Amino acid sequence: MKKDRRNVNTTVTIALPFGKTTWLIYKGKICCMKAAISLLRKSNLFFTGAFLCVVVAAVIYLLKGNVQFDGTRSFWVNVFFVNFTFMGDAVFVLVVAAIFLFYYRQPQKAKAIFFNFLLTMLLVQLLKNIIHNGPFTLYFEESQYLFNSTFIKETAHEQLPSGHTALAFSLAACLSSFTKRKLTQVLVLLACGLLAFSRLYLAKHSLMDVVGGTIIGLTSWVLINAVFKSKIRNYKLEIRNGEQELSLGIS
């Protein structure tokens, strides 16, 4: 009789000298790459659409330069975008994580959203400070017609990347990986595209600002997903034959 192996976890134990470098522990383990490929396959519609948006933006940039929205603004459109752009705010992302944690009782998904949020914010702050090449500053975006920071008033070249766009795409990529429904992925992608336009419309971001935010958001979730999928579940320190060795259990 054949055994049912569907719920059986295979554990591989690697014994390495305790003083070895960390990369030796992960040698032979390529789960990060597999996790990234699996993510792109599962959310292929979302990532394909996001990639096409970046390509279209690059073509527009080559033809017309780093364009900004300078069209006519109406009152009700202003009201809509001022509220809609809030979905790229840190508070909104943290509320979504709290909903998964307390309402849906899915702590792993809430944890993934939270760490994805942290990495996205870290990348945005680092990139802004690297580009501006000045003293380290925390940049906060406001949902106003004129783009202002809490600590400094930014000029046109100091807006890259768009933090709201980065958070929106990182959250959307995360949510799209939670479902296999194509319609959900399309709706999430459309919402992200509309939010990116809201940053152009309201905050006077340029085209490259929102493109930079899009790339950061997508990259952040790919990295966080790879870490979560390939994390080591258990490890312990053992003494064997009078020598310290690290016994690493991978399940």
Q: Is the pLDDT of residue 49 over 80?
A: yes
Three-class secondary structure of residue 153 per DSSP = coil
Q: Is the pLDDT of residue 205 over 70?
A: yes
pLDDT digits (tens, 9 = 90+) for 111-144: 999 999 999 999 998 988 888 776 777 776 655 4
User: Can you tell me the distance from the alpha carbon of 150 to that of 156, in angstroms, rounded to the nearest whole number?
Assistant: 16
Name, in order, each residue with C-beta under 8 angstroms of 54's C-beta and a sequence gap of 6 or more. 211, 214, 215
Q: What are phi and psi of 243, to 5 degrees?
A: -120, 140
**Residue 245 CA, distance from chain mean position:** 36
Give this prediction's pTM.
Answer: 0.76
Per-domain residue ranges for the chain? 30-250
205 vs 27, higher pLDDT: 205
Sheet (strand 234-240) strand order:
12-17, 243-250, 234-240
User: Can you tell me the distance from the alpha carbon of 217 to that of 53, in angstroms, rounded to the nearest whole number?
Assistant: 14
221 vs 78, higher pLDDT: 221
pLDDT digits (tens, 9 = 90+) for 155-171: 444 567 888 999 999 99
